[in-house]
Each structure stands twice: as structure tokens, then as C-alpha cells.
């Protein structure tokens, strides 16, 4: 078994020092913030080469969710995720962890009425996943669709919810 870690606030800011620190703690891989990767790709490549610590996945680092209620943010998020997947391919990463949304809305807390219908949610998330499917196929990466608990997201809460999107949209890279 191999163990990786996400970036943490107490890790060093300098990229090479960050990689050394993670490696010294005994981790086998690094789930990097997507923006950190894209904005510092050459430094990340150098840190991988020096430490031998691979960037295995990315999580976060983009603005706008694949199920965002605001279309402009959703489309912006898709463009940023595309660039993150391209950067992951450059450094040998496997893919990006993507929830439908985080902290945007829940039926469990007021106002308890979504600004979009459930059918609208399914359409937006499906449209986003089909776009990302093409990017992942082109870059040789994977989109890891992440279910979140019902207090963080109302669209994809279980593995069954995630599987339904994958099966219904015939996704091979999600």
C-alpha cells in the first residue's frame, strides 16, 4: 500500500522544501493543489526529479464547480481543470479529484430550496463531465468524481450517485 497527502498549511511554502518535507514524513505521493501545479510547473518538475516524490493527483486549485449554479463560474472552472489535467500529464500525475460542488448548497440547512431543479443539476454536472471526459482522454488522465456528505453538497453524496453519472454518460476517464 502507498500513502499520499494533500498540501497542508504547515508544509513549507517553497516547492522544493515542500517536496522534501513530504518525502521525509514518509509519504509515497503528493496530491497537489491544481493552481500550485499550474503556476509552478517547472519548479514542481524539478522537485519531483530531485526528491523522487511523485505528484499522483491534484485536488482543488480552480474557481467554479462542475455543478456551479453560475454558468460563468462553471465554465471557468472547466477551463482551469483542463489546464490542471494538462499539467498533471506533464508531470506524470494520474488525475484530479473533483466534487460536483463544495459548500454551495444543501437541502439539510436553510433555505432548503435549491436555486436549480434536480434535473437542471443532473444536466449541468453531466455536461461538465462530458467535457472533462474529452480532456482526460486527450491527456491520458482521469477525473476522480468525489461524492461529498449531504451537508457539503446536494448533488453527489454516494458512490452510487457518482456511478450513475459515469454509467449514464458512458464515461471511460471518469
Tell which CATH architecture fits domain 4-169: Alpha-Beta Barrel (3.20)
Report pLDDT digits (tens) over 104-116. Answer: 777 777 777 778 8
Q: pLDDT tens digits for 122-165?
A: 999 999 999 999 999 999 999 999 988 776 777 888 999 999 99
Q: Which three cell numbers stand for residue 78?
A: 472547466
> Alpha helices, DSSP H only, in 52-169?
71-91, 118-139, 159-168
Q: Cell numbers for 116, please give them.
A: 436549480
Cα(50)–Cα(19) distance, integer angstroms: 9
Model pTM above 0.85: yes
Amino acid at each position: 500500500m502507498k500513502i499520499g497527502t494533500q498540501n497542508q498549511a504547515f508544509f513549507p511554502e517553497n516547492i522544493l522544501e515542500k517536496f522534501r518535507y513530504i518525502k521525509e514524513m514518509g509519504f509515497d505521493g503528493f496530491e497537489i493543489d491544481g493552481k500550485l501545479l499550474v503556476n509552478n510547473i517547472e519548479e514542481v518538475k524539478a522537485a519531483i526529479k530531485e526528491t523522487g516524490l511523485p505528484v499522483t493527483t491534484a485536488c482543488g486549485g480552480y474557481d467554479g464547480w462542475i455543478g456551479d449554479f453560475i454558468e460563468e463560474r462553471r465554465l471557468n472552472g472547466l477551463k482551469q481543470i483542463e489546464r490542471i489535467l494538462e499539467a498533471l500529464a506533464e508531470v506524470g500525475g494520474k488525475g484530479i479529484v473533483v466534487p460536483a460542488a463544495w459548500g454551495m448548497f444543501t437541502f439539510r440547512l436553510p433555505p432548503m430550496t435549491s436555486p436549480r431543479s434536480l434535473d437542471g443539476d443532473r444536466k449541468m454536472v453531466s455536461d461538465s463531465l462530458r467535457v472533462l471526459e474529452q480532456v482526460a482522454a486527450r491527456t491520458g488522465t482521469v477525473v476522480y468524481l468525489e461524492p461529498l456528505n449531504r451537508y457539503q453538497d446536494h448533488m453527489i453524496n454516494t458512490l452510487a450517485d457518482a456511478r450513475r453519472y459515469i454509467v449514464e454518460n458512458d464515461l471511460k476517464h471518469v
